[in-house]
Chain A
């Protein structure tokens, strides 16, 4: 981990930046969850699988000599295609309830294990990212974390622009706020749902290809990704991308701080306990019975 021992200030800066880098990955997974949930009311359990598939493909392409940038784009494209396929199975049948769709995406996540092991085996994979060590306010950290942050920030800006300013994005937002009214004005809600799954897949894939150089990926890495992504997204009630971004960054920083000052142990627990606390407090505020959520 980052930081020269002995200088508390540069240690802190190192932990913060590393945490923001890790958190940006969570935020991307979370925003994919949010993009899908807003439009379809489905919590997509296969969201972590998009990241794993994209990272695996990028690793293979890089290994075959495809240059950086192109290989990662290929990974993100695979994420988007997988997202579309998951969407077709999960919401393609008319009358599938969101609860049923959740179980279906759970099954698809397990199916992804079979595909991943079949193609790439069960060993962890990684590939080099931005080489070298960056110096920031006296703190030394892997330069790749800066790339993760540098890519995530414009992606979120682009999403904000897309949802607010383009016709397609506004049609998606219309489905999110009122499905019935959206249908009345002639928006094909099911097609918008599939589009949301595709966007979610691309965002998940992006998270995967960005974080793999600093965090190895195995076929079952998706559990950690989906749980952290959900934890970030749940802060904003699964519907607000900006809150999901803030949540992801907060989680990342909390984990690196816990790891840095807690000696490496208990960083998983910090994020999960944070998530449980948030959900319980939210439930206490809105009242225990929320039947629409089912």
Chain B
């Protein structure tokens, strides 16, 4: 029961919330669910495998371009969507084999470099639309049924998020998950106890890339247009912010982190586009929110919102000790 309750709650929210939302908020819901999907992977990577990736948006981009390019060339959308996580995971495995020898800030900069290389290559690749972007991606369809409304994409994004959460939970509770948690604390100790660290690290890297790729696939069909500019380095940083703010090493963390950040940014965006506000206000406010929330969280709530909230609940419900 304890195991099923949170998953059931999430399922209920993802199933019941979209129809209640007005049209203009559905877009936020879709992007939130996709960001949360990527963040589940980032949190797994940072919290359980102890690796910082500042290039997670590259796998989001790889998934999106995979789905988009296949669909543009007439491959059935469902096949394109399924190929997105596979190609992203394959790319992560090929890149990870050499890169995961690196640790800490070296790995952070290496993943950042990978994303800059990918963006530069995409901007020069005429077959992928170059800097202008890939246009005319058809809407998602299965067996002649075409998904046109935002509501359909809200369910698709919710389904994708649910899949990522369930897989992540099963990985964490597996033997491999325990090994990884040990390795994140002390690699030497874990290796000495017989944890196959290298393999696990690569597997988590590939899995997190697959989550990002799957989310990217939905993104491609939802927007119908992709450009290198849709996947800036800042997007990668946003995923890290969401993961850190929510709390690494929990399943609820990335969901809470993504929700808090997206809603805050959305709120400030509404505020910034009020009449009388200067036209740079939305950009300034959203950058400031990312920065301040990240810094305050890291310095004062280093374990993130979810663990901090849990600790507070435990303190409140526990009998008083004088």
**A265 cross-chain contacts in B, Cβ below 8 A:** 124
Judged by DSSP, the binding face of B is: helix
B193 within 8 A of A: no
Q: Mark A272-285, 1 if CB is under 8 A from B, else 0.
A: 11011001100110
The answer to whether A106 and B283 have CB atoms under 8 Å apart is no
Select which of A43, A102, A272, A294 is within 8 A of B116 by beta carbon.
A272
* Bound Cα distance from A290 to B103, whole angstroms: 7
In the assembled complex, the CB of A221 is this many whole angstroms from the nearest CB of chain B, namely: 12
CB distance from A197 to the nearest CB of B (A): 15
Interface 1/0 per residue, B279-317 and A, CB below 8 Å: 010011101101110110011001000000000000000
- Asked whether A279 and B120 contact (CB < 8 A) given A111-B287, A290-B103, the answer is no
**B50, B101, B237, B241 pick with most chain A CB within 10 angstroms:** B101
Shortest Cβ gap from A106 to chain B (Å): 6
Measured CB to CB, the closest approach of chain A to B76, in angstroms, equals 34
Known contacts being A104-B299, A111-B287, is A223 close to B233, with CB within 8 Å?
yes
Return the CB mask of A209-235 against B: 1 if under 8 Å, else 0.
000000000001001100100110010
User: Whole-angstrom distance between the alpha carbons of A99 and B113 in the complex?
Assistant: 19
Given contacts A103-B244, A268-B116, contact A89 B302 (CB under 8 A): no
Residues on the B chain within 8 Å of A273, using CB = 117
B101 in contact with A288 (CB, 8 Å): yes
Q: Which of A3-11, A59-67, A114-122, A135-143 contacts B (4 or more CB under 8 A)?
A: A114-122
- Taking CB atoms and an 8 Å cut-off, the chain B residues in 199-256 that contact chain A are 232-234, 237, 240-241, 244
**Is the C-beta of B171 less than 8 angstroms from some C-beta in chain A?**
no
Task: Assess the B98–A280 pair: CB atoms within 8 A.
Answer: yes
In whole Å, how far is B12's beta carbon from the nearest beta carbon of chain A? 34
Q: Describe A's contact surface by its main secondary structure.
A: helix
Q: Are B99 and A121 within 8 A (Cβ)? A: no
User: Are B295 and A111 interface neighbours, CB within 8 A?
Assistant: yes
Most buried by B among A93, A102, A268: A268
A269 contacts the other chain (CB 8 A): yes
Whether B105 lies near A279 (C-beta < 8 A) is no
B117 and A110 form a contact (CB under 8 A): no
Q: Is A206 an interface residue (CB 8 A)?
A: no
- Chain A nearest Cβ from B214, distance in angstroms: 26
CB–CB B280/A276 < 8 A: no
A113 an interface residue at 8 Å Cβ cutoff? Answer: yes
B103 pairs with A107, CB closer than 8 A: no
The B-contacting residues of A in range 73-98, CB under 8 angstroms, are 89, 93, 96
Indicate if A157 sits at the interface (CB-CB under 8 A): no
Interface 9-mer from B26-34, B60-68, B144-152, B183-191:
B183-191
* Inter-chain contacts of A96 with B (CB < 8 A): 299
**A293 and B103 contacting across the interface, CB-CB below 8 Å:** yes
User: What is the minimal beta-carbon distance from A50 to any residue of chain B, in angstroms?
Assistant: 16
**B187, B283, B299, B302, most chain A CB atoms within 10 A:** B299
**In the complex, which residue of chain B has the Cβ closest to the Cβ of A99?**
B104
Report if B72 contacts A (CB, 8 A). Answer: no
Give A288 to B124 CA distance when docked, in angstroms.
34
The count of residues in chain B whose C-beta lies closer than 8 Å to any C-beta of chain A is: 46
A294 to B287, CA, bound (A): 27
Contact residues in B for A283 (Cβ distance below 8 Å) = 101-103, 106
B112 within 8 A of A: yes
What is the CB-to-nearest-CB distance from B184 to chain A, in angstroms, rounded to a whole number? 10
Which residues of B have CB within 8 Å of A121?
280
The yes or no answer to A291 lying at the interface (CB within 8 A) is yes
Bound complex: CA A13 to CA B55 (Å):
36
- Cβ-defined contact, A108 with B287, below 8 A: no
Q: Contacts of A43 on B, CB cut-off 8 Å?
A: 105, 108-109
Whether, in the assembled complex, A100 has its beta carbon less than 8 Å from a beta carbon of chain B, the answer is yes
Residues of B close to A93: CB separation below 8 A: 299
Check: A289 CB closer than 8 A to any chain B CB.
yes
Residues of A at under 8 Å CB distance from B?
Answer: 43, 89, 93, 96, 99-100, 102-104, 106-111, 113-114, 117-118, 121-122, 220, 223-224, 227, 230-231, 234, 265-266, 268-269, 272-273, 275-276, 279-280, 283-284, 288-291, 293-294
List 17 A-B residue pairs with CB atoms under 8 Å apart, sorted by A's residue number.
A43-B105, A102-B108, A103-B244, A104-B299, A107-B241, A107-B294, A117-B283, A118-B280, A220-B232, A224-B116, A227-B112, A227-B116, A231-B113, A265-B124, A269-B120, A283-B102, A293-B105
Q: Which residues of B contact A (CB under 8 A)?
A: 50, 98-99, 101-106, 108-110, 112-114, 116-117, 120-121, 124, 186-188, 191, 198, 232-234, 237, 240-241, 244, 280, 283-285, 287-288, 290-292, 294-295, 298-299, 302
Given A109-B291, A280-B99; 14 other pairs, CB 8 A cutoff: A104-B298, A107-B291, A107-B298, A110-B287, A117-B287, A122-B283, A231-B113, A234-B109, A272-B114, A276-B99, A289-B191, A290-B103, A293-B105, A294-B50
The 9 closest A-B pairs by CB, nearest first: A111-B291, A107-B294, A114-B287, A114-B288, A107-B295, A110-B291, A43-B105, A283-B101, A272-B113
